[in-house]
């Protein structure tokens, strides 16, 4: 094994490492911890929604200001859903998809020894980690954490305390980390592909990460700039988002000339493309796993690539569909409805291509495949419910109700998170050299799938009934007197959903030491990462590989083996 140039010393190897694989695994442990933390925050939200005002005694010790006597205060509830959304989006889903798979997979799947800029890569992780610390520190400052939702709409977000400032600064840091990562991914994919690895021989996961990195480069700087303006409005008395005549808490404000809706345009100009940052890599992962377990080439490789590009491009033209009810010009509403309807098309094409890949395959149901199939199935629900909100008159009713909460969870949990579980269970043998336990993996999958649907599907029904989101105590409203039973069923299921993750954690750590040895290519897959040892050595390949064919050559007629590796000469 060639370990030439491998750094010595624990600190250089595992902490301040420039090896893309170590950095990917650092991102994985950090963001899995945040994923669990975000889940716990969700449980507290569900406690209040299931049993409004009921005391939770042990929380008195953990959050004496937010839950005195164990009874949740409304401002603490607002902090919980704000932090749940921010933790899940900025510290779990995006880094799990982009930070983990982007770092771990890109060099190794294109046949490179490392990233183009290994030190920038390390800096990216070490900007991400303090960013998390700064946002979460909000819980410990005077007045508590950010409480204006993950969307931080001005003017509300400028009226809150130190926790909101922590949120703004932390998110700027996490955003900078993303930008550094994206520069690296784009450069690496363009410049460091192995000999013979043309663009149309790239695996779909790499295409997805490539396009995602381009979206990040174009959109994240806009978020960072908007956040800086928001910070100035909050601390320096500027008026980018604050109009004249505001009276807050009975005090007339001195601002003038700002525009409230400007924040929403800037925020969603980033955050709608960010939705695709959170789904494209998961699509790539599913496109990668389904052919392996169906033993069949991916159906419509080229249209899959073009669909990704189309989604990314159109993703920049749909942002104001989050603002149908904001009172913006109705003609704008029409144009954004049209672009939103159009973007449904490439998503539909991708779904049909996955189905056609399964058609006349020989499908086996190992854990990664189960997660990938769940991704397809749940993404269909997420996509179809998006049509309701694309039809702008219907959205006027459903906007800011639980219907939207259900929709976004079907996309981000049903889509992104099942994609992440598929990816982790699929590449775990490559990362650690051992197989995960299949029975534990299947049990984890079935429980997660079941309870996920039990928590999230009723949200659509609540939304159709008109239940607004972000409501601390729905019993205040006459028309919400009947929703208690359904909410309690959802809360019990949410507890089971988080509890079921114990199986994943147990499997993950048990298999690190006790799992069956994986060998180079346990799934009999074709792409380059399976051509090197598990785990791969520093520098990935003993000799730079040469690529002779596309990534999905399964069940080629006339060959004895049903997979034909990309680097096999004949």
- How many CB atoms are located within 10 Å of the residue 358 CB? 16
Which of 351, 501, 520, 548 forms a contact with another protein (CB under 8 A)? Answer: 351
Q: Smallest gap, in angstroms, from Cβ of residue 195 to another protein? A: 24
Q: Which is nearer to another protein, 6 or 338 (CB)?
A: 338
Cα-only R_g, the chain: 24
To which H or E segment does residue 252 belong? strand 251-252
Contact between 273 and 321 under an 8 Å Cβ cutoff? The reply is no
Size of the site for another protein (CB under 8 A): 118
Q: Which is nearer to another protein, 493 or 534 (CB)?
A: 493
Which of 140, 200, 365, 509 forms a contact with another protein (CB under 8 A)? Answer: 365
> 368 φ, ψ to 5°?
-60, -40
Q: Smallest gap, in angstroms, from Cβ of residue 458 to another protein? A: 9
Angle 418-432/367-390 helices, nearest 10 degrees?
Answer: 150
DSSP string, 28-85: HHHHHHHHHHHHHHHHHHHHHHHSTT---TTHHHH-TTTSGGGPPPHHHHHHHHHHHH
Indicate whether 421 belongs to the interface with another protein (CB under 8 A): no
Rounded CA separation 454/447 (Å): 10
Q: Which is nearer to another protein, 18 or 501 (CB)?
A: 501
Indicate whether 161 belongs to the interface with another protein (CB under 8 A): no
Residues 401-420 that bind another protein (CB under 8 A): 401
Residues 549-568 that bind another protein (CB under 8 A): 552, 554-557, 562
Burial of 57 by CB count in 10 Å (0-12 exposed, 13-18 middle, 19+ buried)? exposed
Q: Smallest gap, in angstroms, from Cβ of residue 62 to another protein? A: 20
Q: Contact letters (x/-) for another protein, 269-308, by CB under 8 A?
A: -------------------------xxxxxxxxxx-----
Q: Smallest gap, in angstroms, from Cβ of residue 539 to another protein? A: 33
Rounded CA separation 23/46 (Å): 34
Which of 40, 190, 396, 505 forms a contact with another protein (CB under 8 A)? Answer: 396
Torsion sign over Cα 51, 57, 58, 64: positive
Indicate whether 249 belongs to the interface with another protein (CB under 8 A): yes
Burial of 323 by CB count in 10 Å (0-12 exposed, 13-18 middle, 19+ buried)? middle
- How many CB atoms are located within 10 Å of the residue 4 CB? 8
Q: Which of 181, 185, 143 is nearest to 164 (CA)?
A: 143
Q: Which residues share a beta bridge with 247?
A: 252
Indicate whether 49 belongs to the interface with another protein (CB under 8 A): no
Indicate whether 71 belongs to the interface with another protein (CB under 8 A): no
Which of 373, 431, 518, 547 forms a contact with another protein (CB under 8 A)? Answer: 373
Q: Smallest gap, in angstroms, from Cβ of residue 418 to another protein? A: 14
Angle 204-235/280-294 helices, nearest 10 degrees?
Answer: 160
- CA atoms within a 13 Å half-sphere pointing along the CA-CB vector of 348: 9
Which of 49, 97, 246, 436 forms a contact with another protein (CB under 8 A)? Answer: 246
Q: Which is nearer to another protein, 141 or 217 (CB)?
A: 141
Q: Which is nearer to another protein, 147 or 179 (CB)?
A: 147
Tell me the C-alpha to C-alpha distance, in Å, between residue 2 and each of 23, 234, 245, 439, 533.
Answer: 20, 54, 69, 36, 11
Q: Smallest gap, in angstroms, from Cβ of residue 136 to another protein? A: 21
Rounded CA separation 437/458 (Å): 32
Indicate whether 85 belongs to the interface with another protein (CB under 8 A): no
Q: Which is nearer to another protein, 440 or 533 (CB)?
A: 440
Q: Smallest gap, in angstroms, from Cβ of residue 213 to another protein? A: 26
The interface region with another protein, picked from 12-20, 127-135, 175-183, 443-451 by CB under 8 A, is: 443-451
Burial of 485 by CB count in 10 Å (0-12 exposed, 13-18 middle, 19+ buried)? exposed
Contact between 511 and 89 under an 8 Å Cβ cutoff? The reply is no
Q: Smallest gap, in angstroms, from Cβ of residue 145 to another protein? A: 13
Q: Smallest gap, in angstroms, from Cβ of residue 300 to another protein? A: 4
Residues 323-342 that bind another protein (CB under 8 A): 325-327, 330, 333-334, 337-338, 341-342
Rounded CA separation 135/123 (Å): 19
Indicate whether 379 belongs to the interface with another protein (CB under 8 A): no
Residues 450-489 that bind another protein (CB under 8 A): 450-451, 454, 461-462, 464-466, 468, 470-474, 476-479, 482-486, 489
Which of 394, 495, 533, 568 forms a contact with another protein (CB under 8 A)? Answer: 394
Q: Which is nearer to another protein, 128 or 504 (CB)?
A: 504
């Amino acid at each position: 094994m060639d370990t030439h140039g491998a750094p010595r010393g624990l600190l250089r190897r595992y902490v301040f490492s420039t090896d893309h694989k170590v950095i990917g695994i650092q991102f994985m442990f950090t963001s899995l911890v945040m994923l669990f933390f975000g889940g716990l925050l969700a449980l507290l939200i569900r406690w209040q929604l299931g049993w409004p005002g009921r005391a939770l005694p042990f929380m008195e010790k953990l959050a004496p200001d937010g839950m005195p006597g164990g009874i949740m205060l409304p401002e603490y509830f607002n902090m919980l859903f704000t932090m749940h959304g921010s933790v899940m989006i900025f510290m779990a889903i995006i880094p799990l998809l982009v930070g983990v798979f982007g770092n771990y997979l890109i060099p190794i799947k294109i046949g490179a020894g490392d990233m183009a800029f290994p030190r920038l890569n390390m800096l990216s992780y070490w900007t991400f980690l303090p960013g998390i610390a700064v946002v979460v520190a909000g819980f410990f400052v005077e007045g508590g954490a950010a409480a204006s939702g993950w969307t931080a709409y001005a003017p509300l977000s400028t009226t809150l305390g130190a926790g909101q400032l922590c949120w703004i600064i932390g998110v700027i840091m996490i955003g900078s980390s993303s930008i550094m990562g994206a520069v690296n991914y784009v450069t690496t994919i363009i410049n460091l592909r192995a000999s013979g690895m043309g663009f149309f021989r790239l695996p779909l996961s790499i295409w997805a990460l490539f396009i995602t990195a381009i979206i990040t480069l174009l959109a994240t700087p806009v978020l960072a700039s908007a956040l800086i303006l928001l910070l100035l409005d909050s601390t320096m008395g500027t008026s980018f988002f604050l109009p004249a005549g505001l009276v807050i808490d009975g005090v007339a404000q001195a601002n003038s000339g700002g525009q409230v809706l400007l924040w929403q345009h800037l925020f969603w100009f980033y955050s709608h493309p960010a939705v695709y940052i959170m789904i494209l890599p998961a699509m790539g992962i599913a496109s990668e796993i389904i052919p392996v377990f169906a033993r069949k080439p991916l159906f419509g490789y080229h249209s899959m690539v073009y669909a990704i590009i189309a989604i990314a491009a159109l993703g920049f033209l749909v942002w104001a569909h989050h603002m149908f009810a904001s009172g913006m010009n109705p003609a704008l509403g029409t144009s954004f409805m049209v672009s939103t309807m159009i973007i449904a098309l490439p998503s539909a094409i991708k779904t049909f291509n996955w189905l056609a890949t399964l058609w006349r395959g020989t499908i086996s149901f190992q854990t990664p495949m189960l997660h990938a199939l769940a991704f397809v199935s749940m993404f269909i629900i997420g996509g179809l419910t998006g049509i309701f909100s694309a039809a702008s008159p219907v959205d006027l009713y459903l906007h800011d109700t639980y219907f939207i909460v259900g929709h976004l969870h079907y996309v981000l949990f049903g889509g992104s998170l099942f994609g992440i579980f598929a990816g982790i269970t699929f590449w775990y043998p490559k990362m650690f050299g051992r197989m995960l336990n299949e029975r534990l993996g299947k049990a984890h999958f079935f429980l997660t799938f079941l309870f996920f649907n039990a928590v999230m599907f009723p949200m659509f029904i609540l939304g159709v009934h008109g239940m607004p989101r972000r409501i601390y105590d729905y019993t205040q409203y006459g028309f919400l007197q009947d929703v208690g039973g359904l909410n309690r069923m959802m809360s019990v299921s949410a507890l089971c959903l988080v509890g079921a993750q114990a199986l994943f954690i147990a499997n993950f750590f048990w298999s690190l030491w006790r799992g069956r040895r994986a060998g180079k290519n346990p799934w009999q897959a074709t792409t380059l990462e399976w051509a090197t040892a598990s785990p791969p050595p520093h520098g990935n390949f003993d000799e730079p590989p040469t690529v002779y064919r596309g990534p999905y050559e399964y069940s080629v007629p006339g060959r004895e083996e049903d997979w034909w590796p990309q680097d096999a000469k004949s």
